[in-house]
Amino acid sequence: MMTPPKAILFDAGSTLVWLDHPYLLDLARQHGIEVPMERLLDAEYTAKTRLDELIRSGEVSDDRKRGEVFFAEIFRQLGVGREAFPPIAKALWARHAERNLWSTVRERTAETLDELRRRGYRLAVISNADGRVEALLESVGLGSHFEFVIDSHQVGIEKPDPRIFHIGAERMGIRPEEAVYVGDIYEIDVQGARAAGMRPVLIDPLWRWNDVDCDRIRGLHDLLDLFPETA
């Protein structure tokens, strides 16, 4: 049986806080695209797989570019051509500057974090972000669950670079192999954490990453099945 970790570290976007899907649907509607929520979720999944391919091939290497590719692919899947995307992109980044596009907290998130702490796990966040992720987590009521938040913008290192994961382990005073990292993008979160020596867990809400070589969960609450009491 695998030894329980001492700490569980989390990505932020699409792990602790999720995309504002109603806003994306409304933005699509403003540009003549009327689609159901299910199609948007499917487009988001497809965009993640495409992003993984581009990261793997080295075609996108920084977080801002990844974001541009990600949203362009989502809207392409919804029927928006490349020539029609620039005004949508402008609206997206304006909204993101005003209030983070990842701002929705799903049910059972806070309760799960509470229970993990009660079971003896130390919690923290390592996120590719723009300097605002700690304030975002505070604003949605999750900040108090974590010992610290590492924001790539503030430390000058982005996932999947293993150094940002090592910073997290060092701040906790533990070895990387004593930590788990939970995130939603394979090439960034799983491969980065694994390269750093951490055990990766992939969030797969639609349960489609069937060929991955790591633990998968549908949502944060499934961590309670993976990680029992520590004592």
CA angle 58, 63, 67 (to 5 degrees): 100
Provide the pLDDT for residue 135. 96
Tokens of 229: 């009491």
Cite the DSSP H helix spans in the chain.
21-30, 37-57, 63-77, 85-98, 109-118, 133-139, 152-155, 162-172, 191-196, 223-226
CA angle 134, 165, 115 (to 5 degrees): 60
Tokens of 73: 């692919």
Cite the DSSP H helix spans in 31-151.
37-57, 63-77, 85-98, 109-118, 133-139
> Are 24 and 102 in contact, with CB atoms under 8 Å apart?
no
Provide the pLDDT for residue 2. 66
DSSP one-letter code for 84:
G
Provide the pLDDT for residue 155. 97
The 10s digit of each residue's pLDDT in 18-61 is: 999 999 999 999 989 999 999 999 999 999 999 999 999 888 87
Percent of the chain with pLDDT over 70: 99
Positions in the chain short of pLDDT 50: 1
String of b and e for 155-183 (b: at least 16 CB within 10 Å)?
eebbbbebebbbbbbeebeeebebbbbbb
Provide the pLDDT for residue 4. 84
Say what the pTM is.
0.94
Provide the pLDDT for residue 1. 47
- C-alpha separations of 209 from 105, 107, 212, 230 in Å: 23, 23, 6, 29
Provide the pLDDT for residue 174. 98
Provide the pLDDT for residue 210. 86
3-state secondary structure of 145: helix
